[in-house]
Amino acid sequence: SQAVYTVILDSKTSDVPPDFTKGISSTITPTNSTLTNDTTYTFQYVLDSSNHTISSFGFVLFNSTDDSVGSDSDTTDGGTVSVVKDVGNDSRIVMRYYYVIESNYTNSTRTWSILGSGGIETNLDNFFVDFKAYLLSGIFGLTEFGAVVLI
């Protein structure tokens, strides 16, 4: 019998890919989820990384028909990119933003709904005014008395 034994353990490391979202902080503005039509906004993407070197970042704005309506990008290690845009009478604006670290592309999307200048209250008021007009017009086969009872 031996007094000394040798034990060899085979160590194997798994290749864990780097997490390119770790240490990333970003801010998207405007911060509201709804915007008002015919209003000018500054669309901004602020990006910072405490763990990785950012080689490029930016965004593209798209309207409700998916047409590109503005973009900005930079090749610095983080910072701010922005576009000043009047949203007009569109129904939504979509920002597709991204950053690149070590040739790895990471992206996301932010969407804003655009309301009429009166906001949601005006839109609801218009709905009920229009609804009342349709009912009173007899379009649904109701008499004026039946329409008044529903309203």
Strand (E) or helix (H) holding 94: strand 92-101
Q: Residue 142: which pLDDT band, with cuts at 50, 70 and 90?
A: low
- The model's pLDDT over 47-57, given as tens digits with 9 standing for 90+, comes to 999 999 999 99
Residue matched to tokens 């979202």: 21
Q: What is the mean pLDDT of the chain?
A: 84
Task: Compute the average pLDDT of residues 24-42.
Answer: 95
What letter would DSSP give residue 77? Answer: S
Does residue 135 have a pLDDT over 70? no
pLDDT of residue 144: 61
Give the separation between CA 27 and CA 103, rounded to whole angstroms: 22
Find residue 43's DSSP bridge partners. 83
Q: Which residue did the predictor score with more confidence, 37 or 7?
A: 37
Give the separation between CA 14 and CA 22, rounded to whole angstroms: 19
- The model's pLDDT over 79-129, given as tens digits with 9 standing for 90+, comes to 999 999 999 999 999 999 999 999 999 999 999 999 986 655 555 666 666
Stated pTM of the model: 0.68
Task: Say what percent of the chain tops pLDDT 90.
Answer: 61
Give the separation between CA 106 and CA 31, rounded to whole angstroms: 21
pLDDT of residue 137: 58
Does residue 76 have a pLDDT over 70? yes
What letter would DSSP give residue 65? Answer: T
Task: Compute the average pLDDT of residues 5-27.
Answer: 79
What letter would DSSP give residue 51? Answer: S
